[in-house]
Amino acid sequence: MSKGKPSVADKIVAGLEEFADALEVSEEIPQQFNSRRVMLDLKPGDYDPQRVKETRQTLKASQQIFAQFLGISVESVRAWEQGKKLPSDMARRFMDEIRAEPEYWQARLRKLMRPRNRRKTA
């Protein structure tokens, strides 16, 4: 290779060799190399019956459609809205997302809808 400017491949190989050496001597990797830690604040919000209903109504969805969208039973949605049960952490996180960007989730729900075939009776 030429003695000029190192190629991208040379830089990558040199970086990997330096990293491998550091691993062998058990040095503090985050202090020696660029590394980033990202933490997400994903504690789900609190959902009383009224807030569950408001979230569902944000989507302009029936209890049945809302249940399908969340992947749960309609009985669960009813129980939440009547205060008989509390939504799971996962359901609360999903409802947090719906409340954060209602237009996006309304559009997603519309894309998922298809007309139901009705049976004709003789």
pLDDT tens, position by position, 32-86: 666 677 788 889 999 999 999 999 999 999 999 999 999 999 999 999 999 999 9
Segment 16-20 mean pLDDT: 82
Q: How far is CA 30 from CA 11, 16, 18, 40, in A?
A: 20, 15, 13, 20
Q: What is the mean pLDDT of residues 93-97?
A: 97
The answer to whether residues 67 and 76 touch, using CB atoms and an 8 Å cutoff, is yes
User: DSSP character for 4?
Assistant: S
If one compares 36 and 12, the residue with the highest pLDDT of the two is: 12
Of the pLDDT bands very low, low, confident and very high (cuts 50, 70, 90), residue 96 is very high
Mean pLDDT of the chain: 88
pLDDT on residue 30:
67
Contact (CB, 8 A) for 66 and 76: no
